[in-house]
């Protein structure tokens, strides 16, 4: 249960922050996104990359799987409209459920659950990543004309996808022999998402001391986990 509950609670926390406090300060959200992006990137580099490159004989093939992950995430973003890295470009006046958005986010969340049971650091990285994404997703859904019970159902399904990925990785023995390849795909996804967050949150490419401090703090914390 330790591997399953935290990622669910991250979505719950993100939802509650928006639903109860209704934050309007976009600057703070962007700093939170920058922290999550830097933390996820650092955890990926410090924890996951060394693990998949342990066997030098398969290094090049692992690199191929990482590139597949990067390209796959690019495809997912076409359908999710960038929700994974904090930008949601959809009509807020709709009453229709954005099915493609949730399918894309569901696949993303499912895959990121695979390496969790191998590393506590990755679990923390995903938690930090999920909170601002859940906030952005909740903010969008509450502005639409979609009925509240459906919104709660959609967010509940989204919250369960990462634990489902962890469960599959732990108990579906047929996939365990491909752990490194799947993890390499997840690394590619994390690299794409985290770097996009860091680059896109830098408006006008201006030097921002606060953002730099947040990124350095996230990196240092990730290193010592």
32-90 pLDDT, tens per residue? 999 999 999 999 999 999 988 887 677 889 999 999 999 999 999 888 877 777 667 66
Q: Give the per-residue pLDDT at 90.
A: 67
Q: Summarize the confidence of residues 84-101 as an average pLDDT.
A: 76
Residue 69 burial (10 A CB sphere; 0-12, 13-18, 19+): buried
Q: Give the per-residue pLDDT at 81.
A: 73
Pairwise CA distance, residues 49 & 119, whole Å:
12
- Total residues found in the chain within this entry: 225
- Dihedral Cα 88, 69, 164, 173, nearest 10 deg: 170
**Angle at the Cα of 36 (from 189 to 218), degrees rounded to 5?**
115
**Residue 32 contacts by C-beta under 8 Å, 6 or more apart in sequence?**
131, 132
Distance of CA 155 to the CA centre of its chain: 14
Pairwise CA distance, residues 220 & 215, whole Å:
9
**Angle at the Cα of 199 (from 114 to 28), degrees rounded to 5?**
85
Q: Look at the pTM and tell me if it is higher than 0.85.
A: yes
pLDDT single digits (tens) 152-210: 999 999 999 999 999 999 999 888 889 899 999 999 999 999 998 888 755 555 658 88
Q: Give the per-residue pLDDT at 203.
A: 56
Residue 220 burial (10 A CB sphere; 0-12, 13-18, 19+): exposed
**Residue 95 contacts by C-beta under 8 Å, 6 or more apart in sequence?**
144, 145, 146
Angle, to 10 degrees, between the axis of helix 179-200 and the axis of helix 99-112? Answer: 120
């Amino acid at each position: 249960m330790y591997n399953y509950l935290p990622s669910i609670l991250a979505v719950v926390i993100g939802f509650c922050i928006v639903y109860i406090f209704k934050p309007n300060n976009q600057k703070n959200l962007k700093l939170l996104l920058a922290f999550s992006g830097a933390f996820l990137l650092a955890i990926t580099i410090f924890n996951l990359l060394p693990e998949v490159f342990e066997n030098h004989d398969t290094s090049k093939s692992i690199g191929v799987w990482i590139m597949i992950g990067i390209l796959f995430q690019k495809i997912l973003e076409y359908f999710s409209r960038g929700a994974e890295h904090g930008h949601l470009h959809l009509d807020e006046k709709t009453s229709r459920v954005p099915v493609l958005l949730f399918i894309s986010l569901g696949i993303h969340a499912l895959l990121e659950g695979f390496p969790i049971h191998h590393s506590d650091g990755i679990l923390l990285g995903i938690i930090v990543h999920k909170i601002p994404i859940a906030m952005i997703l909740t903010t969008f859904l509450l502005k639409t004309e979609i009925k509240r019970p459906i919104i709660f159902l959609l967010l509940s399904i989204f919250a369960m996808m990462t634990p489902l990925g962890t469960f599959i990785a732990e108990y579906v023995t047929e996939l365990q022999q491909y752990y490194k390849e799947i993890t390499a795909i997840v690394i590619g996804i994390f690299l794409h998402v985290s770097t996009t967050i860091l680059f896109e949150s830098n408006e006008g490419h201006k030097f921002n001391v606060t953002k730099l401090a947040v990124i350095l703090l996230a990196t240092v914390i990730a290193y010592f986990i």
